[in-house]
Structure 1
């Protein structure tokens, strides 16, 4: 019995020391390093993870990550000087023997104001991750307000058609769209890559001419003009690529 009691006492002491050691590690080491340790068994990993998720480091990582200027892309959301910006456009430039720089066209998420800033390709900024959510398009009013519905909760979301850019003209009843949100604020929205549209106007096929042009100009229902094959006529349904407004194929009946 004395031998058993001695072992239990030693086990408790070892456990106490392990907890103190893990606490120290949690305050000084990234989660990835701790979890990749060769000595990390299941119980130890869970303990380490629990310690780290309550530390300030965890909150910072959850919000975003630092990225170099060369990796910033249109559509990203970044933080600079305590302001949150959506990146609208990125232009790379290299002047003489100087370092390469990037000109960013930004939109302040809070105020909506647009601004431009220069950033070194190796300079780092905080990238903020946003939530992407699916909605169903319902209608657009005369003031350009788009009404969307959450298919899960049936809650409605009102956004301005500007968040869709040019693709607002592709919106159709009950179309599934995606909206990027930051703290509940819509930043941008997108329509499906392929959309079925009806040809409103198209030059009729030319008869009696051997060398018929391969493509012709047609106007689709939203007012866009596109190139279509010569056999396409007004009233036909066609599939359009919304990224470059190009003809893909005839829509299946």
Structure 2
């Protein structure tokens, strides 16, 4: 058991037979009364999110999630297919449950899938990925890094705000936690 006050974004716990992932958590002290934890929670199995408050001293059962390195093969119909690199065993995940993660994944990319017992429940991405700009506005001559930037559509469909000097066809390093441009990728 773990105290609600110890929950942080990314942690997973069990509640009423559901697997719940913490998306955001913060302490909140209203004008009167006791401190509460404001949290944005996501049901891992259904993908639904809720905003809720809990008392910091409440206890929840921590879920033990294991990871396994796999290769993302392809998406077909409404399933994403992954393969274990050691045993060649294949795993399927419903696309709606990993829709956000798919925006950072290219075919044959290595990622980790998450298991709760024997149930496959999600994907863990690397901290950064290299994606190619598919479409953006033309670069502006004399543009500097400090400009406000412009939107760029990456090869996976992800839209990222990039500096004005970036052009279509360039490979960029993208932060997967925040969905932000970091730098041009080394060639």
Give the alignment's TM-score, normalised by structure 1: 0.62
Aligned residues: 182
CA deviation profile, 1:116-141 (whole Å, cap 9, x unmatched): 66421012222121211111100011
Contact 1:237-1:251 within 8 A present in 2 as well? yes
Q: Of 79, 82, 103, which residue of structure 2 is paired with 1:148?
A: 82
Larger radius of gyration: 1
Call closer, same or farther: CA 1:89–1:235 in 2, change over 3 Å: closer
Measure, in 2, the Cα distance between the counterparts of 1:136 and 1:106.
25
SS in 2 for 1:170: coil
Q: Of 107, 112, 116, which residue of structure 2 is paired with 1:178?
A: 112
Write the mapping of 1:206-245 to structure 2, written as runs, cut at 5 A: 206-207=140-141, 212=143, 214=145, 215=147, 216-217=149-150, 218-245=152-179
5+ residue gaps in structure 2? none
Measure, in 2, the Cα distance between the counterparts of 1:97 and 1:169.
43
Asked if 1:246 is matched to 2:180, the reply is: yes
Measure, in 1, the Cα distance between the counterparts of 2:96 and 2:53.
25
Contact 2:173-2:184 within 8 A present in 1 as well? yes
Measure, in 1, the Cα distance between the counterparts of 2:81 and 2:89.
10
5+ residue gaps in structure 1? 1-65
Measure, in 2, the Cα distance between the counterparts of 1:77 and 1:205.
43
Q: Which residue of 2 aligns with 1:125?
A: 60
Identify the structure with the greater strand proportion.
2
SS in 1 for 2:74: strand
Asked if 1:159 is matched to 2:159, the reply is: no
Q: Which residue of 2 aligns with 1:134?
A: 69
Q: Which residue of 1 aligns with 2:43?
A: 107
Measure, in 2, the Cα distance between the counterparts of 1:114 and 1:245.
20
Measure, in 2, the Cα distance between the counterparts of 1:106 and 1:197.
27
Contact 1:73-1:87 within 8 A present in 2 as well? no
Identify the structure with the greater helix proportion.
1
Call closer, same or farther: CA 1:244–1:150 in 2, change over 3 Å: same
Q: Which residue of 2 aligns with 1:43?
A: none
Measure, in 1, the Cα distance between the counterparts of 2:38 and 2:140.
49
Call closer, same or farther: CA 1:168–1:188 in 2, change over 3 Å: same
Give the alignment's TM-score, normalised by structure 2: 0.81
Q: Of 63, 78, 97, which residue of structure 1 is paired with 2:32?
A: 97
Task: Report the CA distance between 1:88 and its aligned residue.
Answer: 4.0
